[in-house]
Amino acid sequence: MLSQNMESALNAQIRIEAESSQVYLAMASFAEVQGFEGVASFMYSHSDEERMHMLKLIKYVNERGGHATISDLNEPPKEFGSFREMFKKLFEHEVKVSKSINDLVHISLQEQDYATHNFLQWYVAEQIEEEALARTILDKINLIGDDKGGLYLFDRDVQAITVQASTNITE
């Protein structure tokens, strides 16, 4: 059974994951209208992934005797400036999500809720991957700068990452 404190903290994380999905969705739309299908595909895929993270939390809270709540969300931005700015914001967002997951782990240890601690280890590992991927992409886009030919090739590279990631999920 979840403590009230743990349940509240997990419900706050449910909102963060939902907002993450919305941020990725807004970034996908931003990229798509500019003709960057690879970046758009990558962002749509990650929006779905964040939604799955949210659903996993909802199921966990409810299975442990709590009540997962669905709250209102902050509206994501519609414009992101350059792709460099967008991926910088994405990386910063993933760092913020990692901190939130780490805070949950801390609460679970304080409360000696080892079932929740065990459950959260998947999120810890996932955030390591998310941050590393965002950092790698940001590094690449920083190398490209504003070169339009480079952005075209980058868009194709990101599309390949998306196809490879979706293949790994189904294996």
Report the binding-site residues for Fe cation: 17, 50, 53, 94, 127
Q: Is 94 in contact with 130 (CB distance < 8 Å)?
A: yes
CA distance 118 to 109: 10
Contact 8, 69 (CB under 8 A): no
H runs (alpha helix) in the chain: 4-33, 37-63, 83-110, 114-144, 148-170
Query: Binding site: what residues are annotated?
Result: 17, 50, 53, 94, 127
Query: How far, CA to CA in Å, does 165 sit from each of 81, 107, 128, 149?
Result: 27, 32, 15, 25
